[in-house]
Amino acid sequence: MLDRLTGLEVFAKAAAAGSFSAAGRALGMSQTMVTKHMAALEARLGVKLFHRSTRKLSITDAGRSYLESSERILAEIDAADSAVAADRIEPKGLLRLSAPVSFGARQIAPLMPEFARRFPLVTVELGLNDRLVDLADEGWDLAIRIGSLADSSLIARRIAPCRTVLCAAPAYLATRGTPHTVASLAEHNCLGYTLSRLAGADRWAFGARGEVTAQVSGNLRANNGDALLAAAVAGQGVIYQPSFVVAEQLRAGTLVSIALDQPTFEFAGIYAVYLPDRHPAAKLRAFIDFIATRFAPEPPWDREIA
C-alpha cells in the first residue's frame, strides 16, 4: 500500500511543476513511481485530478479544489515537524519533574528561580512524592531517584553523591549519652524512615556496602525525612538520614553527627532518570545539565559539615 502522505506530496509537486517527470526529479523519485502514486490517489478519491496528454498536464476542477486542502495539510505537517525539531534545539515547553519530597523541596526548588532566568521558555511542574513514580504511565519527563536503580530501561545520569549521617540533638545526647558502636544503637530511641529500601525502619545498615546492620527501635516512624528531622531537632531521638536532609542543622549545631565503629552507608548516588530517547528534548537536556553543574564537584549540602 502506497503512503498517503507521499501521495499528497507527489500531487502538490506535479501540480506546481506541470509534469510528473519534474515532480519526480524534485522528490528524488522515478516517473514510474510518481505515476503509481497519482493512480492510487485518484483511485482512492474516485476522481480525476489531472488531464493528461503527451504534451501537457493540466489540473481538473476537482484537482484544484483538492490541491488547496493538500497544500494546507502539508504546510501544517511541515510546521509540526519544525516545532518538534525546534524543541530539540531550544529549551522550551512544559517539563514535568518528579522528585523525593525532602530533596525536591530542599535542593531542587531553591534552584528554580535561576533556571527560570536562564531558560524563560521552560515551565517546570515539580511533583514532590517519595513513592517510585512510573514515568511513562504518569507522564513525567524526568525523575530524581536516590540509591541503586532497579529499572534498567531508563536512561540515568548521576548528578551527585549521597552519603548518610547518624545524628541527634545535643539535648538528647546530654540526656541519653552518645552511642559509639553499631551495637549500642539498641539502647537508643532511633527514629525510623518507613520507605527505606536499604534495610527498613527498624534495621539500619552501616559499612561501605551496607554489610553491617543494627536492629533498632524507637517511638516514631515516618515516611518523610523532614518529619524525622523536626523530631530529632526537638530532642526526641537519633536519626539516620541523607546528608542533604540534615546538613543545615549540622552546620547550625542543632544536630550533632555521631561516629560509630563502622562508617555510615553511602548510597550509589542521586540520579536524574528519563525514558529512552535517541534525541531527548532540549528542555530535558538543559535541566539535567543545569542541576548537575550546581551539584558538582561537591554538592552544596556536603560543604562544611563533618
Domain boundaries, the chain: 4-89, 93-160+268-302, 163-266
Q: What is the pLDDT of residue 85?
A: 58
The dihedral built from the CA positions of residue 293, 295, 300 and 304, taken in this order, carries a sign that is negative
Written out in words, the top-level CATH class of the domain with range 4-89 is mainly alpha
Helix (H) or strand (E) holding 232: helix 225-233
Indicate the pLDDT class of residue 151, thresholds 50, 70 and 90. low
- 10 is written with which cell numbers? 507527489
Q: What is the pLDDT of residue 228?
A: 96
Percent of the chain residues topping a pLDDT of 90: 56
Pairing between β-strand 256-257 and β-strand 212-215 as defined by DSSP bridges: unpaired
Q: 5-43, pLDDT tens digit by residue?
A: 888 888 888 888 888 888 888 888 888 888 888 888 888
Beta carbons within 8 Å of 212's beta carbon, 6+ residues apart: 182, 205, 206, 262
> Would 4-89 and 93-160+268-302 be classified into the same CATH topology?
no
| Cross-strand bridge partners of residue 189 | 217
Say whether 202 sits in a helix, a strand or coil.
Answer: coil
Decide which of 3.40.50.720, 3.40.190.10, 3.40.50.620, 1.10.10.60 is the CATH code for 163-266. Answer: 3.40.190.10
Decide which of 3.40.50.300, 3.40.50.150, 1.10.3720.10, 3.40.190.10 is the CATH code for 93-160+268-302. Answer: 3.40.190.10
Q: Full-prediction pTM beyond 0.85?
A: no
Beta carbons within 8 Å of 303's beta carbon, 6+ residues apart: none
Among 17-26, 73-82, 136-145, 232-241, the minimum mean pLDDT is found in 73-82
Q: What is the pLDDT of residue 135?
A: 92
Q: What is the pLDDT of residue 84?
A: 61
Indicate the pLDDT class of residue 157, thresholds 50, 70 and 90. very high
